[in-house]
Structures are given as structure tokens and as C-alpha cells.
């Protein structure tokens, strides 16, 4: 048999492309969680992945699961936060998936919309929790009315207030955190107390942390920076009045030196340091960044409220993790049993021990409220929680070269609010278009 | 079993009817040159086919699809290329990468050359100096970047402490949140770290120049500068060309130091083209588009390298 050179090259090319693309395509079958008898007599080993940030909380649940029964064993593999999405995606592409994963709820959307997770709607319906189960978490893992994840742990953004400083300045927490005018008034009064005391704080060079704490001011008005449903999304930035007023507030706080100078370069590595040291009147952050570092005395004189809109309304970032089952897992029945256990009332009530929030509001009892007063406000207003459902969240809000951080810095530190918003509008639109291509 | 022979059939293409008639050549067959020669180069050919040709062809194939890291894929023709070539963010990253390359290339060469001049002789202490100058390259950009991340912090970092002690700044400079400042810091770090490699390459070239040539020049009364200009540099032309090409390619593919120190920010002020590709592949999970970007980068790198070869070619 004789081949021309051209034929040989064509053969090589076709072979290479077929090998590359063929290796990429692998359909993984999802279990039918609602099938009769599903889960009866589950056993064996469940492979579970979690992100390194949540390993302590997840390990506690796994230990309790092992103590509660001996049929199903869980092998937990923590994976570094920054590599998590890529590792999960690569595992799915390679066809060797864990049975259950604990995933940042903001990232569950992109997997749910790629149809690579098991439909857990029957499991969620069996829980019969309704709106008592974090709606924000659930929405991020929902496509066409079907739930591809179950809320697991909460990481909510709230406003910590140092009541001692409020009292010294003659301020009322509820009244002065209800609107931007109140916040400005409180920040000025608290900053005037001492040379080293400031009214407010933000990590000015940490895109993700700013997205976590600043966006709720906009959401409190009922608007978002992203408009439309997945598949037809665009930015709602230029001309967004709530956003403009939010950026104006942050710019004023910076211009009037009501925030520590270190905010300019803070990449969130010392995010809560000033609040923990008692030098801040108000601190937008999460329970998980304050509680592990603060003294019991400071926690005792702290109060938590939701983040306000410009003229009222309150909201918080409904962050945290969902539990999802990648399609193709070897032990779906054991995985489903573990998920049911993890969202049980008893396990959820223990979440604050690991510095997370529960994701079901029915966990709040008088005893729970007395023991965890800084966790309760969000649970009492779970419907005020929100997180944008989009395939582009990571690129827009969590990357240092994303449009969100650029807009924030240009508006706050350069004072070019409208120009920053106009520029961001173009970039939001481009990224959303690319993400949905 | 005999290897399949690849021949061009006589009737595969119409014969040329114009121009001088050339003798028939048996080019285009795998049985020419001789089989022994073919066997000798077979391992190298196999290596290139498996690790270069097949991945490259696969990459071209993937670039014509919408292949995501997760989910189904389909062929989309040239859509990825149309998207990449009209994406202002991609071209901004290309522009920044070229700027960065332009800034660091000459200083790396100049500093590397100067260091090579210092350590090329075998006089006492030269070996110790070579080691000292080469250590930053051995330590590597990853480690140096993590160190710089700490040392560039306002107030506490050594960079600011030293500049404050010298009275140049007030010690509060936030180097990594300002595009030009971050670029300057990154360039300084890279020049310092990489010039050690250039030094080693140039030094070995210098040591290969016959001593007699310098002695003749000295007898003729040539000064040190004249000897460098008229002997060393011309005889190092090929080595210099190689170091410049290596340096430029390394700069065009810069990623680690930017990823660690600035992550492309603030805004997209320090986003290199490889970082843009990384984001597309592993943040947006769009392997097809990222591969198209990579192939465009391959073309750009090839063009820049070809331009360098042309500029640095030997002139008679």
C-alpha cells in the first residue's frame, strides 16, 4: 500500500483530532434519586471532595455520620480552594468522579447548567423544608425548576457593629445602619472618637471579598448588576442608580478618611484585623472571618445586622456551599444518605461551631439564638439572601483582573464613578456574552 | 513486512509546461533517503510526532470546537478565531505582553553581558561570583514572586522599608495595586532573576573565543572597549541571538510571576496573554476558545522570533 505525503499528513491530523476529542467526550449516567427503593440498604464507601476552606466543618459532619451508623464509610478528600472548580471539572471530563462534592454555591450554577450533576429534586422535596431551606443556595443549583444541589453550609455577608463604640458615639445600631445617610453619620461620629478608630472598612484590593460585602447594598433595592436569565444575560451597570449611590458611599468614606488607610491595598489578608482589634465601628464581613479571630468579649459587644440599601431595605450575600452529586458516581445511594444526614437539624445546629451558618431557618430556637446571637439575624431573614445566578460570576467578581474590582477602585480611589460604571458595563456585557457562548 | 512507501503518483498533478525542464527528483517519498538513515532518525521523528505534531494537530482540531471542560461539545468552525480576533481584552493582553517583553529584553541582555564580562576570566573569586549571580535564576521566579509578595507590602515590606530609609518614599507605596508600579516592580525582579542565565550563556561563548585573537589586538594597541566591540560582540553574535530569542519567548509566555503577584490586576493592567488564556480555559472552562487563543499566540511568537532572526542574521 502506498500513501502520498498529503494522505499521510491528513491521516495523522484526523487521528490526532479524533484521539483528542474522543478522549474528551464521555457521558456519565446520573442516578435516579426518586426511583422506588433508592437508598434502601445503602452501604460501601462514599468518595467525597470538599474545598480546603471548609474541611473542618465537613470533617465534623463526616465524623458524626460515621458515629451514627456503620454501613457507609466516607473518604473525604480536601482540595485547595483555588483549584477546586478545575479539579471537579477535570474529574467529570475524565469520567472518574467523586460520589458527592461540597462546592461553593456560586459555582454550582455552571455545573448544573452543563447537566453534569444528579437531579436531587426528590431529595429536596422529601426534606419538605420549603423556604426554611436557604432559597439563595437552592436557586444557584436550580435549572428549569430542578434542583441539582442541596444547601449545606452558610457563609453570609453581614454588618458587624461594635456596640461599645456606637454607645460612646451616642448612636443607635438599628437606626444608623438602616440607610447610607445613617451609615455616614455613624462612621463620622465613630471616627471622631479616637485617632486610631474608624467607622467603616473594606478590603480595597480583594475582588471576591468586595463582591461579597458591597453587592448586597445594591440587592437591598431589589436590583442586581446582571440582568436577564442565563443564555440572555447582560450587565445592568451603567445607569444603575443603586450601584452609583453605593459607590458614592464608599468613595465618601474613603475621601473623608472614615476607613483605615490600609484599605487601599488590602487583599483581604488582614480583612478583619481592625475590627478584631476593636478599632472599627462597622465591619461588613462574614461570621467566618470574625468569630475565629475575635475575643469572646468583643463578640459579646458585637451586633450583626443585614447590609442596608441606600434608603432602606436590607440584604446579604447568600454564600456558602451546596452538596452535589456528579453524575456517574459509583455510590449514589450512600452519597444521598450522607446528604440527608448533613442537612439534618442536629448537624445544622452544630454549624456555628465550625464558624459557619446553618442553611435552614428552623434551626433557630430560643436556646440557639441565645447561644449564637451573631448567626441568627440572617436565619431570621433567609429570604433577604441573594446571589447572582450566572455562568460568569467567577470571572466578573472573583478574579483580580475582573471588571468589578476595576470599577470599584476607579470609582472609590480615583473618584470617577460614572466613568467607571460605563467602562464596567462594556466589560460585563462582553464577559457574559462569552460565558454563554 | 515492509514499510509503506509514500510516493507521488505520476498522474497526481499536471506536469508543468512552462519554464526550464528540471531533472526528475524523487522527493516526497519516505524511502528516500536511504532506509538506514531513516531508521537512525526514527526515534527523534517519533518523539516529534508524538509530543509535537499530534498535540499541535489536536489543538487545531479543538480550536474548531466549543469544547468546554465540562459538558458536550460541537464543531463551530472558525467562530473561536472570530471571537478571539475581535476580543479587545485579548489584544490588550497581547499589547501588555509585548510591552513587558520590550521592557525586559534589553536590560536582561545588557546586565547578563556585564555580569559575563565580570566572571568570564578564571581569576580568583570568579567562581563564587558566578554562583552568586546565578542563584536567583536557580531559586526560580515562583519562589521569588512569593517573597516579593511579602516584601512589596506597604509599610512592612522590605522594598518600602529600604526606600523609606533612603528617603525616596514614605514607605507606604502599594506597589501591586497600581499598574505601572506593579509592572516596574515585576520587570526589576525578572531582570534580576533571569540575567544570571544570560550571563552563563554569554560567558560560555566568550570563553570559546581564542585567546590569540585578543593578544593580537592588544599588540596592535586595541583598547578594552575596542576589543569588546570589534572582537567579542561580533564573535558572540550567534550566542547573543540565541539568548535574545530565548529571553523574548520566555517573556511572551510570562505567567507565574504575574499570577502570584498581581493576578493580572489592578483591573486588567497586568494581564498577560498566557494569563488571559488560562482564565478562558480554567475559569470560564472554555477549552476550545482558549486553544484558539493559544494558537494565535503561537503565530505571534513565531512572527516575533522570525523578526529577531532576520534582525540578528549574519551579514557578510
Listed by number, the residues of chain A in 367-396 with a beta carbon closer than 8 Å to a beta carbon of chain B are 392, 394-395
Contacts of A392 in chain B (CB under 8 A): 284
> Per-residue pLDDT tens for B198-228?
999 999 999 999 999 999 999 999 999 999 9
A257 contacts chain B (CB < 8 A): no
Q: Which of A19, A114, A204 sits opposite B68 (nearest CB)?
A: A114
CB contact under 8 A, A392 and B153: no
| B62:A21 CB<8 A | yes
Place of cell 526589576: B188
A99-128 residues touching B, CB cutoff 8 A: 110-111, 114-116
**Beta partners for residue A72, in sequence order:** A44
Tell me which residue of B83, B190, B303 sits closest to A430, measured CA to CA: B83
Q: What are phi and psi of A95, to 5 degrees?
A: 80, 10
Nearest chain B residue to A20, by CA: B58
B242 class by beta-carbon count within 10 Å (0-12 exposed, 13-18 middle, 19+ buried): middle
Question: Are B182 and B175 within 8 A, CB to CB?
Answer: yes
Taking an 8 Å cut-off on Cβ atoms, the answer to whether A401 and B267 are in contact is yes
Number of CB pairs, chain A paired with chain B, less than 8 A apart? 149
As a whole number of angstroms, the distance between CA B305 and CA B241 comes to 10
**Residue of B284, B290, B292, B293 to mutate, interface with A, max A Cβ within 10 Å:** B284
* Strand-strand pairing, A226-227 and A100-104: unpaired
Distance CA A412, CA A251 (A): 4
If one compares B158 and A5, the residue with the highest pLDDT of the two is: B158
Q: Which of A83, A400, A432 to mutate to test the interface with B (most CBs of B within 10 A)?
A: A400
Other CB atoms within a 10 A radius of the CB of residue B92 amount to 16
Residue of chain B whose Cα is closest to the Cα of A23: B58
Q: What are phi and psi of A322, to 5 degrees?
A: -110, 155
Three-class SS of residue A224? coil
- In SS3 terms, A107-165 reads as HHHHHHCCCCECCCHHHHHHHCCHHHECHHHHHHCEECCEECCEEEEEEEEEEEEEHHH
Contact, B25 vs B260, CB < 8 A? no
Closest CA to A411 of A248, A168, A190, A230: A248
| Cβ partners under 8 Å of residue A146, min gap 6 | A119, A121
Which among B30, B283, B286 has CB closest to A399?
B283
Nearest CA in chain A to B259: A400
- Check B283 against A21: CB less than 8 A apart: no
What are the grid coordinates assigned to B83, written together?
471571537
Angle, helix A241-255 to helix A417-435, in steps of 10 degrees: 130
Nearest one of B285, B244, B249, B290 to B97, comparing CA atoms: B249
- Name the burial class of residue B315, with classes exposed (0-12), middle (13-18) and buried (19+) by CB atoms within 10 angstroms of its CB: exposed
List CB contacts (< 8 A) between B72 and chain A.
25
Residues 6+ apart with CB under 8 A from B88: A430
Residues 67-106 of A with CB under 8 A from B: 85-86, 89-90, 92-93
Between chains, do B9 and A4 touch, taking CB under 8 Å as contact?
yes
Task: Considering only the beta carbons, identify the residue of A3, A207, A430 that sits closest to B4.
Answer: A3
Would the CB atoms of B69 and A93 count as touching at under 8 Å? yes
DSSP A88: H
Residue of chain B with shortest Cα separation from A435: B284
CA A147 to chain B, closest CA, distance in angstroms equals 18
Please judge whether A400 and B262 are an interchain contact, meaning their C-beta atoms are less than 8 angstroms apart: yes
Instruction: Tell me A281's DSSP state.
Output: S
Distance from CA of B98 to the nearest CA of A (A): 18
Mutate to test the interface with B, among A15, A20, A85, A205 (most CBs of B within 10 A): A20
- Cβ separation of B71 and A204 shorter than 8 Å? no
Determine the Cα–Cα distance for residues B248 and B228; give it in Å rounded to an integer. 24
Per-residue pLDDT tens, chain A, 437 aa: give them.
Answer: 455 556 555 555 555 555 555 554 456 788 888 788 787 778 899 999 999 988 988 999 999 999 999 999 999 999 998 889 889 999 998 889 999 999 999 999 999 998 899 999 999 999 888 889 999 999 999 999 999 999 999 999 999 999 999 999 999 999 999 999 999 999 999 999 999 999 999 999 999 999 999 999 999 999 999 999 998 999 999 999 999 999 999 999 999 999 999 999 888 888 899 999 999 999 999 999 999 999 999 999 999 999 999 999 999 999 999 999 999 999 999 999 999 999 999 999 999 998 999 999 999 999 999 999 999 999 999 999 999 999 999 899 998 889 999 999 999 999 999 999 999 999 999 999 988 77
Span B145-158, mean pLDDT?
A: 90
Q: How far apart are CA B67 and CA B285, in angstroms?
A: 9
Q: Which chain A residue is nearest to residue B272, measuring alpha carbons?
A: A401
CB A72 within 8 A of CB A337: yes
DSSP secondary structure letter of residue B142:
H
Sole residue written with cell 446571589: A387
| Contacting residues of B for A409, CB less than 8 Å apart | 177, 266-267
Mean model confidence pLDDT for chain B: 88
Give ipTM to 2 decimals.
0.79
Eight-class DSSP state of B70: S
Q: Which of A3, A12, A401 sits opposite B264 (nearest CB)?
A: A401
- Tally helices (H) and strands (E) across chain A: 21, 13
Residue A15 Cα, gap to closest chain B Cα (Å): 8
- Can you give the C-alpha Rg of chain A in angstroms? 24
* Interchain proximity B5–A2, CB inside 8 Å: yes
Which is nearest to A417 in space by CA: A230, A243, A219? A243
Closest CB to B285: pick one of A12, A89, A205. Answer: A89
Nearest to B57 among A7, A13, A403 (CB): A13
Is B174 close to A264, i.e. CB distance below 8 A?
yes
Beta-strand pair A226-227/A150-162 = unpaired
Inter-chain residue contact B4 with A1, CB threshold 8 Å? yes
Give A406's contacts in chain B (Cβ within 8 Å).
Answer: 265-268
The pLDDT value given to residue A437: 73
Distance CA A110, CA A392 (A): 8
Residue that has been written with the C-alpha cell 455520620 in this structure = A65
Residues from chain B that touch A115, judged by Cβ atoms under 8 A, are 71
Assess contact for B261 and B176: CB atoms under 8 A.
Answer: yes
Say whether A116 and B70 touch across the interface (CB within 8 A). Answer: yes
- Which among A359, A433, A362 has a CA at the least distance from the CA of A396? A433
The answer to whether the CB atoms of B8 and A5 lie below 8 A apart is yes
Residues of B in Cβ contact (< 8 Å) with A17: 57-58, 60-62
Residue position matching grid coordinates 471542560: B69
A262 neighbourhood in chain B, CB within 8 Å: 154
Number of C-alpha atoms within 13 angstroms, CB side, residue A200? Answer: 28
CA–CA min distance A366, chain B (Å): 43
pLDDT at B4 over 50: no
Task: Judge if pTM exceeds 0.90.
Answer: no
β-partners of residue A316 are A385
Amino acid at each position: 500500500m502506498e500513501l502520498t505525503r498529503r494522505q499521510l499528513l491528513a491521516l495523522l491530523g484526523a487521528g490526532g483530532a479524533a484521539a483528542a476529542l474522543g478522549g474528551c467526550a464521555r457521558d456519565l449516567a446520573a442516578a435516579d434519586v426518586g426511583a422506588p427503593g433508592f437508598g434502601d440498604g445503602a452501604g460501601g464507601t462514599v468518595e467525597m471532595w470538599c474545598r480546603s476552606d471548609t474541611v473542618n466543618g465537613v470533617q465534623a459532619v463526616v465524623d458524626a455520620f460515621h458515629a451514627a451508623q456503620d454501613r457507609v464509610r466516607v473518604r473525604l478528600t480536601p482540595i485547595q480552594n483555588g483549584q477546586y472548580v478545575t479539579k471537579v471539572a477535570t474529574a467529570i471530563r475524565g469520567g472518574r468522579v467523586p460520589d458527592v462534592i461540597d462546592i461553593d454555591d456560586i459555582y454550582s450554577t455552571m455545573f448544573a447548567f452543563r447537566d453534569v450533576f444528579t437531579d436531587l429534586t426528590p431529595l429536596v422535596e422529601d426534606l419538605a423544608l420549603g423556604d426554611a431551606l436557604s432559597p439563595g443556595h437552592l436557586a444557584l443549583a436550580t435549572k428549569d425548576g430542578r434542583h441539582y444541589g442541596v444547601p449545606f453550609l452558610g457563609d453570609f455577608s453581614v454588618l458587624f457593629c461594635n456596640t461599645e463604640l456606637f454607645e460612646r458615639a451616642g448612636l443607635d445600631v438599628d437606626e444608623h445602619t438602616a440607610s447610607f445617610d445613617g451609615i455616614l453619620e455613624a462612621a463620622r461620629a465613630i471616627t471622631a472618637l479616637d485617632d486610631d478608630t474608624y467607622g467603616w472598612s473594606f478590603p480595597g484590593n480583594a475582588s471576591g471579598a468586595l463582591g461579597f460585602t458591597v453587592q448586597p447594598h445594591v440587592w437591598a433595592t431589589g436590583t442586581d448588576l446582571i440582568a436577564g436569565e442565563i443564555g440572555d444575560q447582560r450587565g445592568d451597570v451603567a445607569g444603575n442608580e443603586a450601584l452609583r449611590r453605593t459607590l458614592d458611599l464608599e468613595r465618601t468614606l474613603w475621601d473623608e478618611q472614615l476607613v483605615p488607610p490600609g484599605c487601599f491595598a488590602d487583599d483581604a489578608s488582614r480583612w478583619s484585623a481592625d475590627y478584631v482589634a476593636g478599632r472599627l465601628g462597622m465591619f461588613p464581613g462574614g461570621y467566618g472571618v470574625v468569630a475565629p479571630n475575635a475575643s469572646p468579649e468583643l463578640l459579646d459587644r458585637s451586633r450583626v445586622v443585614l447590609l442596608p440599601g441606600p434608603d432602606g431595605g436590607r440584604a446579604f450575600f447568600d454564600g456558602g456551599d451546596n452538596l452535589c452529586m456528579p453524575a456517574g458516581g459509583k455510590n449514589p445511594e450512600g452519597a444521598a444518605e450522607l446528604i440527608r444526614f448533613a442537612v439534618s437539624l442536629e448537624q445544622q445546629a452544630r454549624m456555628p461551631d465550625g464558624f459557619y451558618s446553618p442553611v435552614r431557618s428552623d434551626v433557630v430556637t430560643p436556646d440557639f439564638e441565645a447561644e449564637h446571637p451573631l448567626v441568627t439575624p440572617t436565619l431570621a431573614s433567609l429570604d433577604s439572601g441573594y446571589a447572582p445566578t450566572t455562568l460568569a460570576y467567577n470571572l466578573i467578581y472573583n478574579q483580580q483582573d475582573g471588571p468589578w474590582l476595576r470599577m470599584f477602585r476607579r470609582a472609590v480611589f480615583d473618584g470617577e464613578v460614572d466613568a467607571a460604571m460605563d467602562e464596567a458595563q462594556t466589560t460585563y456585557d462582553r464577559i457574559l456574552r462569552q460565558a454563554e457562548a | 513486512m515492509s514499510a509503506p512507501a509514500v510516493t507521488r503518483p505520476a498522474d497526481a498533478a499536471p506536469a508543468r509546461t512552462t519554464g526550464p525542464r528540471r531533472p526528475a527528483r524523487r522527493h516526497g517519498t519516505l524511502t528516500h533517503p536511504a532506509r538506514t538513515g531513516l531508521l537512525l532518525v526514527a526515534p527523534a521523528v517519533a518523539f516529534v510526532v508524538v509530543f509535537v505534531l499530534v498535540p499541535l494537530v489536536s489543538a487545531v482540531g479543538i480550536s474548531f470546537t466549543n469544547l468546554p471542560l465540562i459538558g458536550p461539545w460541537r464543531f463551530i468552525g472558525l467562530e473561536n478565531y472570530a471571537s478571539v480576533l475581535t476580543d479587545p481584552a485579548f489584544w490588550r493582553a497581547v499589547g501588555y505582553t509585548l510591552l513587558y517583553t520590550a521592557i525586559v529584553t534589553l536590560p536582561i541582555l545588557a546586565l547578563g553581558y556585564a555580569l559575563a564580562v565580570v566572571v568570564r576570566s578564571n581569576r580568583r573569586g570568579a567562581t563564587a561570583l558566578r554562583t552568586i549571580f546565578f542563584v536567583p535564576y536557580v531559586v526560580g521566579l515562583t519562589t521569588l514572586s512569593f517573597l516579593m509578595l511579602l516584601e512589596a507590602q506597604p509599610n512592612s515590606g522590605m522594598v518600602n522599608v529600604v526606600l523609606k530609609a533612603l528617603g525616596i518614599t514614605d514607605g507606604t507605596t502599594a506597589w501591586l495595586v497600581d499598574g505601572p508600579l506593579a509592572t516596574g516592580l515585576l520587570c526589576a525582579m525578572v531582570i534580576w532573576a533571569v540575567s544570571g542565565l544570560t550571563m552563563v550563556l554569554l560567558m560560555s561563548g566568550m570563553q570559546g573565543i581564542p585567546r590569540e585573537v585578543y593578544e593580537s589586538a592588544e599588540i596592535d594597541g586595541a583598547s578594552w572597549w575596542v576589543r569588546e566591540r570589534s572582537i567579542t560582540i561580533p564573535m558572540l553574535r550567534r550566542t547573543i541571538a540565541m539568548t535574545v530569542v530565548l529571553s523574548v519567548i520566555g517573556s511572551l509566555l510570562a505567567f507565574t510571576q504575574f499570577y502570584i503577584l498581581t493576578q493580572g490586576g489592578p483591573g486588567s493592567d497586568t494581564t498577560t496573554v498566557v494569563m488571559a488564556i488560562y482564565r478562558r480555559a480554567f475559569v470560564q472552562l472554555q477549552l476550545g476558545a482558549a486553544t484558539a487563543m493559544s494558537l494565535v499566540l503561537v503565530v505571534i511568537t513565531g512572527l516575533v522570533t522570525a523578526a529577531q532572526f532576520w534582525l540578528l542574521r549574519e551579514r557578510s
